[in-house]
Structure 1
Amino acid sequence: MSKKRGLSLEEKREKMLQIFYESQDFYLLKELEKMGPKKGVITQSVKDVVQSLVDDDLVSKDKIGTSVYFWSLPSCAGNQLRNVHQKLDSELQSSGKRHAQLVEQCEELKKGREESDEREAALEDLKAIQSKHKELKSELEKYRDNDPAAFEAMKEAIEVAHTSANRWTDNIFTLKQWCSNNFPQAKEQLQNMYQEIGITDDFDYLEMAPLPSKALAD
């Protein structure tokens, strides 16, 4: 024997509404929980089903003293349906107006964009101008090396690098002197180490050739 199918939420809502419509009376939740099973709605579901009806304004709820009462009349449901219908009708009209506005805007945007010889010629001119702009921009890049601002920046960078290199040369000479003073017996070993790391006899400060005062022209 197949198991009996339970009621869906919508079916439970309809069953609970029947209780209100048939009696047109006021109920406490505990009373509804007792009446629900008679309509096929289990006690544990009654509270959630009734609350969903309250949320949709199909059932009214009010606190009187310390008790909370629920009620619903067929006329209330009719009013609710009329309100929903009016709301949907208003939204439909608004959507229709918006659609008409968009169609009108679309038609306005099309004006002046009709295919014509003048439009084709204008588009060709635009492409030619864009191509020329790209060409000139590329040509400008070739002369960046002669840009005075770029030249001055490069000149400053060279001077900073030269100063830094000689500062490190100073540090190396200071370190060599310190090693000689503190390890005189290791003079030969130190000399070999200097040779291995590139500090040869001709190691000295860097001299920088004079830089031109401005970028050279082609």
Structure 2
Amino acid sequence: MSKKRGLSGEEKRTRMMEIFFETKDVFQLKDLEKLAPKEKGITAMSVKEVLQSLVDDGMVDCERIGTSNYYWAFPSKALHARKRKLEALNSQLSEGSQKHADLQKSIEKARVGRQETEERAMLAKELSSFQDQRKKLKAEVEKYRECDPQVVEEIRFSCAPVTAWNSLCRQG
């Protein structure tokens, strides 16, 4: 006895769309709950869930008329949706290609006058050594910062009210 495997969500969605495309009709939920298990093997319990996911994705249209909801999807709508998506993707591709070409041109412009010469390499090396020296000097200045007269004066000034208060408290 082999166990029967259920349909995946994507298979259910595909089969549900086949119902709409083959019949080219408008359905109510109860009609689909009867039709889907017989024709496409979609369990009646999952019809509503599958149908709602298709409606949410814009693949099936839904309209409430009175107290009933009607569902439909025609092949021409799917074709037009794919065409619009293809046009949007093609325009994005052309914009991306144009931007790529513009960036390539700007790279070529930037390279003009920046050919790797011996003088340029020497200047780059000198710049690097100056940057290293600057870092070392900054570290040394930071090490002696607490001995800086301005910093010491700022510390004294900020602590002056506290020391005055402390001396008053000791006297009294």
**TM bucket normalised to smaller:** 0.7 to 0.9
Q: Distance in 1 between matches of 2:23 and 2:163?
A: 102
Measure how far apart 1:87 and its partner are.
2.4
State yes or no: 1:91 paired with 2:92. Answer: yes
1:2 equivalent in structure 2: 2
1:72 equivalent in structure 2: 73
Q: Distance in 2 between matches of 1:154 and 1:55?
A: 66
Residues 140 and 94 of structure 1, relative CA distance in 2, 3 Å threshold = closer
8 Å contact kept, 2:145–2:151: no
Measure how far apart 1:94 and its partner are.
2.6
Amino acid of the structure 2 residue aligned with 1:18: E
Q: What is the count of residue pairs matched by the alignment?
A: 170
1 or 2, which has the higher helix percentage? Answer: 2
Q: Distance in 2 between matches of 1:136 and 1:162?
A: 35
Q: Give the structure with higher Rg (CA).
A: 1
- % of aligned pairs identical? 38
Question: Could you tell which deviates more after superposition, 26-35 or 121-130?
Answer: 121-130
Q: Distance in 2 between matches of 1:96 and 1:33?
A: 48
Amino acid of the structure 2 residue aligned with 1:103: Q
Amino acid of the structure 2 residue aligned with 1:126: L
Q: Distance in 2 between matches of 1:30 and 1:140?
A: 80
Measure how far apart 1:57 and its partner are.
2.9
Question: Could you tell which deviates more after superposition, 111-120 or 155-164?
Answer: 155-164
Q: Distance in 1 between matches of 2:87 and 2:159?
A: 80
Amino acid of the structure 2 residue aligned with 1:5: R
Measure how far apart 1:42 and its partner are.
0.7
- CA RMSD, 1 decimal: 3.5
State yes or no: 1:170 paired with 2:171. Answer: yes
Q: Which runs of 5+ in 2 are unaligned?
A: none
TM-score of the superposed pair, with normalisation by structure 2: 0.73
Measure how far apart 1:46 and its partner are.
0.8
2:102 equivalent in structure 1: 101
Mapping for residues 1-218 of structure 1, pairs under 5 Å = 1-38=1-38, 39-127=40-128, 129-130=130-131, 133=134, 138=140, 145=147, 147=149, 149-150=150-151, 152-153=153-154, 167=168, 169-171=170-172
